[in-house]
Structure 1
Amino acid sequence: MPSLTLSHVTKYSYRQPVAFGEHRIMVRPRESYDQHLIDAQLTISPEPSDIRWLQDVFGNSVAIATFDKRAKDLVIDSRIRLNHSPAELQNVDIERYARFYPFTYSSEEMPDLLRSIERQHHDPLREIDTWARRFVSSGGQTDTLAMLSEMTAAIKREFTYVPRPEKGTQSPMETLAMRKGTCRDYAMLMIEAVRALGFAARFISGYVYNPSSREQRTGGGNTHAWVRVYLPGSGWVEFDPTNGIVGNRGLIRVAVARDIYQAVPISGTWSGFPGSFLDMSVSVNIAVDDAATGDANNSQHTAITA
């Protein structure tokens, strides 16, 4: 069970002191059977006049910070220690009725999954549908897990990963047409594709690290993005199309959401003279316990937006 130390520092710089409005901060990893928080510290400068925690509709931990001081810099520093025990692919055990596609979710589960099956992007020419159907066998049965695994691998194999520091996400149709994008673009493409096939899927925001020197992951930045698909018998199973992997080995969940805009790590407002904003910088450092991986000095650092 790897033990991780994670540092995520975001800094906003301004030409002169500005006033800060309410900020919503979602950087605390989720507690679960496969990732356990040992310690979590959130330091903000200037010090907020008030900070409160809540769980949103998806159970994500969110800090709400308010301020009564003006400053030229706003620094949000998250320090985390956690144990991570990722599930192995062979532990994906799908109910017999769902092992082959197509299938229908049970009447007990369907009411809670409906909103995660709904499409989020208008696709008048059904381009995403056509692309998704290429993974369905034209004759005979289609193995459910094999189909989803191949879709994950195909995005990794056929698309070009291009880091993009700017905010925003391409539409799935744009990503499909350009055959390139970031981790968040890939995640939204796969979510729409599996929803087109009738699967329940959710967007995941978190962190990515190299489990060992032999396993190199792509997509590091201030956060990483991937997909969860609901499979009866195993529940929410993770697929990372950026790296072409199934399961959460090397992936730390922070936020689970139906749509990408519900999983923004940091959002807030400021007021001051026009043109005051100078820059935003992000620094993420993840150190993996050497004893757990067999590697020496297995630490990773990045300062770009995935």
Structure 2
Amino acid sequence: MNYKVTHITDYIYDFPATLCHNLMFQIPPELAFQQVLEYSCEINPRPSSELEREDFFGNKYLYFSVERPHKNLTVKSTSVVQLSTPAWMSVKPAFTLPWEKVVELLHSTQTSTDIRQYYLESKHVQFVEGIQEYSLKSFTPNRPIMEAMMDLNTRIFEDFTFTPGFTDISTPLEKVFKHKKGVCQDFAHFSLACIRAIGLSARYVSGYLETLPPPGKPKLVGADASHAWIAVYVPGHGWVELDATNNLLVNDKHIRVAVGRDFADVTPLKGIVYSGSKQEMKVSVDVRNIEEG
């Protein structure tokens, strides 16, 4: 499956900003199941400095600054990727290790710190009251880890309502849990909290998802958005990805961009701006299956 992703971010300032420094996480990586065919980034006004680097988690990111007065900042990332079926799709969940055994391995020196760091709390992933009890309804004694993961994924999908506008990135996890409403970032953070609270390692994945239009309706340009899901470490199989927003084991319709402990590590575009006025941000994301036109 070949996809073209166009991600446009516009900042509009009431009065000119004199300086801004930015970090952008929108560069898709090369993976066993993801080949990057094209990537480009257009920034207007043209940056005074621009540098591509790799962060602690292995993600590529772009640093840039605009060091002259400007009332608008537009960042347009375009990528073309080819996706194939990930190896975990052929794993039989019933034959994976019992989840308690995985916890033992993670909390021993047999497992690297690169994996173990993902069973800790983080800025947006807190072990709120009741979270462990919610998780253990799926992670019953001696249950194979992938069976339990998929059961938890289904329960979150059924118990929570996708409600744009109910939360923003500052909304505490307690509120999401109490009202069982939110968007993909909330579902991902809640999933991570459930899994980490019982001692397993799970990380946040940011990227894009092909959004199919209703039957007979045209695809709306700009109707898509950035997406988020999780990856859980399964010994012998690596990081296995699940999407609670859509209740599925991630296959070949998710374009990966970055991984981290939570959203704060992989914010698509963040920075500091020097300005004495308010600003407005507009984001447009379009994901097209090139093979379907």
Whether TM exceeds 0.5 here: the answer is yes
Give, in whole Å, the separation in 1 of the partners of 2:126 and 2:250.
29
Give the structure 2 partner of residue 301 of structure 1: none
**Does residue 1:209 correspond to 2:206, yes or no?**
no
Give the structure 2 partner of residue 3 of structure 1: 2
Give the structure 2 partner of residue 225 of structure 1: 228
CA, structure 1 residues 124+51, in 2 after alignment: closer, same or farther (shift >3 Å)? closer
CA, structure 1 residues 44+124, in 2 after alignment: closer, same or farther (shift >3 Å)? closer
Of 54-63 and 242-251, more deviation after overlay is shown by 242-251
- Please state how far the C-alpha of 1:89 moved relative to its aligned partner: 5.2
Task: Normalising by structure 1, report the TM-score.
Answer: 0.84
Give the structure 1 partner of residue 110 of structure 2: 108
AA matched with 2:163: V
- Please state how far the C-alpha of 1:238 moved relative to its aligned partner: 0.3
Give the structure 1 partner of residue 15 of structure 2: 16
Alignment of 1:268-283 (within 5 A): 268-275=271-278, 277=279, 279-283=280-284
- Secondary structure (helix, strand or coil) at the match of 1:261 reads helix
Give the structure 2 partner of residue 55 of structure 1: 54
CA, structure 1 residues 33+163, in 2 after alignment: closer, same or farther (shift >3 Å)? same
AA matched with 2:73: L
Given that residues 224 and 287 in structure 2 are in contact (C-alpha distance below 8 angstroms), is that contact kept between their aligned partners in structure 1? no
* Count of aligned residue pairs for this structure pair: 280
**What is the CA RMSD across the aligned residues, in angstroms?**
2.4
Give the structure 1 partner of residue 286 of structure 2: 285
Give, in whole Å, the separation in 1 of the partners of 2:31 and 2:158.
31
- Please state how far the C-alpha of 1:5 moved relative to its aligned partner: 1.1
Give the structure 1 partner of residue 120 of structure 2: 118
Alignment of 1:63-102 (within 5 A): 63-87=62-86, 90-92=89-91, 98-102=96-100
Give the structure 2 partner of residue 36 of structure 1: 35
AA matched with 2:232: V
- Please state how far the C-alpha of 1:90 moved relative to its aligned partner: 3.8
Say which of 241, 244, 250 aligns to 2:244. Answer: 241
Give, in whole Å, the separation in 1 of the partners of 2:114 and 2:14.
48
Given that residues 29 and 253 in structure 1 are in contact (C-alpha distance below 8 angstroms), is that contact kept between their aligned partners in structure 2? yes
CA distances 1:54-89 after superposition (whole Å, capped 9, x unpaired): 000011111000122211110001011111113265
- Secondary structure (helix, strand or coil) at the match of 1:102 reads helix
AA matched with 1:25: M
CA, structure 1 residues 71+212, in 2 after alignment: closer, same or farther (shift >3 Å)? closer
CA distances 1:206-249 after superposition (whole Å, capped 9, x unpaired): 111147989xxxxx754111101000111000011101111243
**Does residue 1:131 correspond to 2:134, yes or no?**
yes
AA matched with 2:207: G
AA matched with 2:149: L
- Secondary structure (helix, strand or coil) at the match of 1:69 reads coil
Given that residues 259 and 266 in structure 2 are in contact (C-alpha distance below 8 angstroms), is that contact kept between their aligned partners in structure 1? yes
- Secondary structure (helix, strand or coil) at the match of 1:204 reads strand
Give, in whole Å, the separation in 2 of the partners of 1:105 and 1:112.
14
- Secondary structure (helix, strand or coil) at the match of 2:281 reads strand
Structure 2 unaligned regions, length at least 5: 216-222
Give the structure 2 partner of residue 45 of structure 1: 44
Give, in whole Å, the separation in 2 of the partners of 1:93 and 1:226.
21
Give the structure 2 partner of residue 183 of structure 1: 184
Give, in whole Å, the separation in 1 of the partners of 2:264 and 2:7.
20
Given that residues 93 and 233 in structure 1 are in contact (C-alpha distance below 8 angstroms), is that contact kept between their aligned partners in structure 2? no
Give, in whole Å, the separation in 2 of the partners of 1:166 and 1:175.
8
- Secondary structure (helix, strand or coil) at the match of 1:239 reads strand
Give, in whole Å, the separation in 1 of the partners of 2:256 and 2:166.
21
Structure 1 unaligned regions, length at least 5: 215-219, 291-295, 298-306
- Secondary structure (helix, strand or coil) at the match of 1:109 reads coil
Give, in whole Å, the separation in 2 of the partners of 1:165 and 1:8.
23
- Secondary structure (helix, strand or coil) at the match of 1:105 reads helix
Give, in whole Å, the separation in 2 of the partners of 1:144 and 1:74.
46
- Please state how far the C-alpha of 1:157 moved relative to its aligned partner: 1.1
CA, structure 1 residues 122+282, in 2 after alignment: closer, same or farther (shift >3 Å)? closer
